[in-house]
Amino acid sequence: MLNEKVKGTFLRNEPMAKHTSYGIGGPAQAYITPADENDLKQILIFAKDKGINTFFAGSGSNLLVADEGFEGIVITLGKSFTKLGIDGNKMEAQVGVMLGKIVKETIKRNLTGMESMIGVPGTLGGALIMNAGAFGGEISNCLDIIKVMLINGETKIYQKDDIVFSYRNSTFPKDEILLSATFTLNEKPANEIQYDRAKASKGRKDTQPLRFRSAGSVFKNPKPDLAAGYLIDQAGLKGSRIGDAEISTKHANFFINHGKAKAKDIVDLILLAKKTVLEKFDVNLELEIRTLGFTPGTFEI
């Protein structure tokens, strides 16, 4: 039995609603936080040998999980791989470190490169997979190397250039789990870093519905100068509500959960937005959020 092998935390039939910023999602067969690399290795080998589906999660702030849940195990390094070391302008962090902590610790040392990401929720692992970014900065900008584990439990190092990082995307193989990364940051006068941080923080508070549960932007912007939120707004969909899910009146690319929303409600809003924007502007919106547990074709119109 897998639960007897795991040294970290093993939660059986765990509602994913507890592990996503949406607060939505049915149960995963198991939700596992490995204690360390060796523990993770044993879990991956067990899953591979038994043909069990695995999904790697960070803190679930960019994730929509189906109401039916996920037939497989969700592995997260969010609470256990949390070492962060900064020496001069070199930073090494395990993937479970929260972005907020990285922003805080780098700013403290007058290091620039992370401050624009103030307020982006999530772990470093999720940020690297998504190539998270905000207000002109992207997590991959100052990246040097990334360490991953393969499904056979072996570890591997990638140089930054081995992976293509683009707008909210990276080309890490799907069956590899990120473990840690190193960065080289630049020094900058404290007042300039603080100014950029405050500007990003204000920009976020002014434009985003931060009081409500969401997963940030649902769709990618079709072009750098054409925001998905603008198109959804122009299509007249701000404030559209299905069940307890709503297209935010503050930021049309944020879909919010007023408390009891189901994944199905968010899916229906996604399909409504895609269909209306396609009809009105001939633009096919592409999902930015990641999805888990849905049948293929769920998000096609």
Ligand X SMILES: Cc1cc2nc3c(=O)[nH]c(=O)nc-3n(C[C@H](O)[C@H](O)[C@H](O)COP(=O)(O)OP(=O)(O)OC[C@H]3O[C@@H](n4cnc5c(N)ncnc54)[C@H](O)[C@@H]3O)c2cc1C
Structure tokens at 152: 């056979």
Minimum CB distance to ligand X smaller for 15 or for 281: 15
d(CA 19, CA 246): 20
Active site residue 217: yes
DSSP 190: H
Question: First-to-last CA distance in the chain?
Answer: 41
Closest approach, Cβ 128 to ligand X, in A, equals 8
Closest approach, Cβ 301 to ligand X, in A, equals 22
Element (DSSP H or E) covering residue 263 = helix 263-281
Indicate the residue type of 205: K
Closest approach, Cβ 282 to ligand X, in A, equals 26
Which phi and psi (to 5°) does residue 69 adopt? 85, -155
Minimum CB distance to ligand X smaller for 46 or for 281: 46
Minimum CB distance to ligand X smaller for 60 or for 274: 60
Closest approach, Cβ 280 to ligand X, in A, equals 26
Element (DSSP H or E) covering residue 104 = helix 99-108
d(CA 96, CA 41): 17
d(CA 99, CA 91): 13
Minimum CB distance to ligand X smaller for 26 or for 60: 60
Closest approach, Cβ 88 to ligand X, in A, equals 26
| 249-258: b (≥16 Cβ within 10 Å) or e | ebbbbbbbbe
Catalytic residue (one of 61, 115, 168, 180): 168
Selection from 60, 77, 47 nearest residue 213 by Cα: 60
β-bridge mates for residue 65, sequence order: 292
Structure tokens at 188: 């900058």
Closest approach, Cβ 265 to ligand X, in A, equals 17
Minimum CB distance to ligand X smaller for 116 or for 276: 116
Catalytic residue (one of 61, 170, 217, 240): 217
Residues that bind ligand X (CB under 6 A): 21, 56-63, 77, 95, 120-123, 125-127, 129-130, 132-134, 177-178, 208, 210, 214-216, 290
Q: In sequence order, what are the residues at sequence separation of 6 or more whose Cβ sits closer than 8 angstroms to the Cβ of residue 29? A: 12, 13, 52, 69, 70, 71, 72, 73
Closest approach, Cβ 18 to ligand X, in A, equals 13
SS3 5: helix
Minimum CB distance to ligand X smaller for 120 or for 276: 120
d(CA 224, CA 149): 34
Minimum CB distance to ligand X smaller for 46 or for 135: 135
Helix ranges (H only) for 131-249 are: 190-207, 228-234
Q: Active-site residue numbers?
A: 168, 217, 288
